[in-house]
Chains A and B, each alone.
Chain A
Amino acid sequence: MNYKMLFCTAVLLAGLPAICLASRDSIAFVDSVRGEATIESAGRSIPAVANMKMFTGDLVRTGSKGSVGLIFDDDSVVAIGPESELQVEEFLFHPAEDELSFVARMFKGTFSFITGQIAKLAPEKVRLETPEATLGVRGTKFAVEIK
Chain B
Amino acid sequence: MIKNGKVLYFLGTLVVAASLCLSGCSRKTTVVLLPEDDGGAGAMTVSTDAGTVEIVRAGEATVVSSRTSRPSPPEELSSEEIESVFGEVLKNLPMKPVHFILYFEFGTTKLTADSTARLVEVLAAIERRSSESISVVGHTDTVGDTSHNRRLAKGRAEAVSRLLVDKGVHRDYIRSTSHGESNPLVETGDNVRELRNRRVEVVVR
Closest beta carbon of chain B to A107's beta carbon, Å: 10
**Alpha-carbon separation in the docked complex, A135 to B91 (Å):** 22
**Once the chains bind, are A132 and B29 in contact (CB under 8 Å)?**
yes
Interface pair A142/B133, CB less than 8 Å apart: no
Q: Please, which residue of chain A has its CB at the minimum distance from the CB of B35? A: A141
Chain A residues, CB < 8 A from B48: 132-134
A136 touches which one: B32, B45, B66, B89 (CB < 8 A)? B45
Total number of A-B contacts with CB less than 8 angstroms? 141
Q: Report chain A residues within 8 Å CB of B42.
A: 115, 137-142
Partner of A81, one of B41, B89, B94: B89
Residue from A51, A75, A110, A142 within 8 A of B96 (CB atoms): A75
Known: A51-B132, A136-B47. A112 touches B93 (CB 8 A): yes
**Residue contact B41 to A141, C-beta cutoff 8 Å:** yes
Decide: A67 and B67 in contact? CB cutoff 8 A.
no
Q: Which residue of B lies closest to A126 (CB)?
A: B44
| Smallest CB gap from B133: residue in A | A29
Q: How far is the CA of A84 from the CA of B65 in the complex (A)?
A: 18
- Pick from B27, B65, B66, B93 the residue with the most CB of A within 10 Å: B93
Q: In the docked arrangement, what's the CA distance between A13 and B109, Å?
A: 45
Pick the contact of A135 from B45, B82, B133 — CB < 8 Å? Answer: B45
A146 to B65, CA, bound (A): 10
Chain B residues near A75: list those with CB within 8 A.
Answer: 96-97
| CB of B103, distance to nearest CB on chain A (Å) | 22
Distance A75 CA – B32 CA, assembled complex (angstroms): 21
Quote the shortest CB–CB distance from B140 to chain A (angstroms).
18
Contacts A134-B48, A135-B45, A138-B44 known; A143 to B82 CB distance under 8 Å? Answer: yes
A69 and B97 contacting across the interface, CB-CB below 8 Å: no
> Does B85 have its Cβ within 8 Å of any Cβ on chain A?
yes
Interface residues on A, range: 35 or more
Contact check, B89 vs A116: say whether CB atoms are below 8 A apart: no
Q: Which residues of B contact A32 (CB under 8 A)?
A: 92, 94
A130 within 8 A of B: yes
Chain A positions 28-53 with a Cβ under 8 Å from a chain B Cβ: 29, 31-32, 34, 50-51
Closest to A81 in B: B89
A102 within 8 A of B: no
Contact at A110–B43, with CB atoms within 8 Å?
no
Question: What is the CA–CA distance of A115 and B93 in the complex, to the nearest angstrom?
Answer: 12
Nearest A residue (CB) for B86: A143
Asked if A144 is an interface residue, CB under 8 A from chain B, the answer is yes
Q: Output the least CB separation between A23 and chain B (Å).
A: 17
B88-113: which residues lie under 8 A (CB-CB) from chain A?
88-90, 92-97
A103 contacts partner chain B, Cβ-Cβ < 8 Å: no
A146 to B82 Cα, complex, angstroms: 14
Show 8 residue pairs from A and B whose CB-CB distance is below 8 angstroms, ordered by the A residue. A32-B94, A71-B94, A77-B97, A78-B94, A80-B89, A131-B67, A132-B28, A137-B42
Is the beta-carbon distance between B89 and A143 smaller than 8 angstroms?
yes
Partner of B133, one of A51, A68, A132: A51
Q: Is the CB of A112 within 8 A of B46?
A: no
Q: Does B30 contact A (CB under 8 A)?
A: yes
One digit per residue, 1 when the CB lies within 8 angstroms of any chain A CB and 0 when it does not, for chain B 108-149 equals: 000000000000000000000000110000000000000000
Give the docked Cα–Cα distance between A147 and B63 (Å): 11
Report if B164 contacts A (CB, 8 A): no
